[in-house]
Amino acid sequence: MAVYLGIDPGAKGALCFLDIDNRKLAFRPTPCLEFSAAELRKTVMAVNKAKDILMIGIEDVHAIHGTSAGSNFKFGYNVGAINALMETTGIGIDKITPKSWQNAVKVPTKKKAGGPTQLKKAIASIALRLYPNAELLGPRGGVIDGRADALMIAHYLAIKYGGLK
């Protein structure tokens, strides 16, 4: 079985395990108070033992211009922690720019989408078209942060490494 792990490493990011053979998905939040880094590593290693994670894709992101130093510090801490944690797994890692995966799945530019909120909705719409059963929306219909991006990063890995169209 071929599993790809896509990661949106933001403070409200997510991980998506995509089993490309049967198109099954599993989401996990990035480490936080409710879900520790140790638990996340244990989950990643258990999935890898059961189904062989072929590649981990981590979105290659940087500081966000115009946000506070405190917010950027927290963001950078999370990005660093995710990268370090995934390095300990021994699984191959591909650091993917947002532009790379967004171009591959035909995401409109932020300007064409109508702003950042509309861009998130556009990404979720594309993801739901490809994976109709993906749990990307909350109980009130809003996009759950990180999930659609993590799924599309995993999908991009499947295109790049597995020949998925």
In the chain, domain spans: 3-162
CATH numeric code, 3-162: 3.30.420.10
| Long-range CB contacts (within 8 A, 24+) of 159-164 | 159/104, 160/94, 160/104, 161/4, 161/54, 161/55, 162/2, 162/4, 162/20, 162/54, 164/20
Q: Measured between alpha carbons, how far is 2 from 68 in angstroms, rounded to an integer? A: 40
Give the list of residues 6+ apart from residue 155 with CB closer than 8 angstroms, or none.
4, 6, 18, 101, 105, 127, 130, 131, 164
pLDDT score for 91: 96
pTM: 0.91
Rounding to the nearest 10 degrees, give the CA dihedral for residues 84, 89, 92, 98.
-40
pLDDT score for 73: 66
Series of mean pLDDT values for 10-residue runs along the chain (165 residues):
89 90 90 76 93 94 71 74 91 95 93 89 95 93 92 96 78
**Cα–chain center distance at 69:** 24
Q: Measured between alpha carbons, how far is 24 from 84 in angstroms, rounded to an integer? A: 27
- The DSSP letter of residue 137 is B
| Distances from the Cα of 98 to the Cα of 3, 62, 93, 139, angstroms | 21, 11, 15, 27
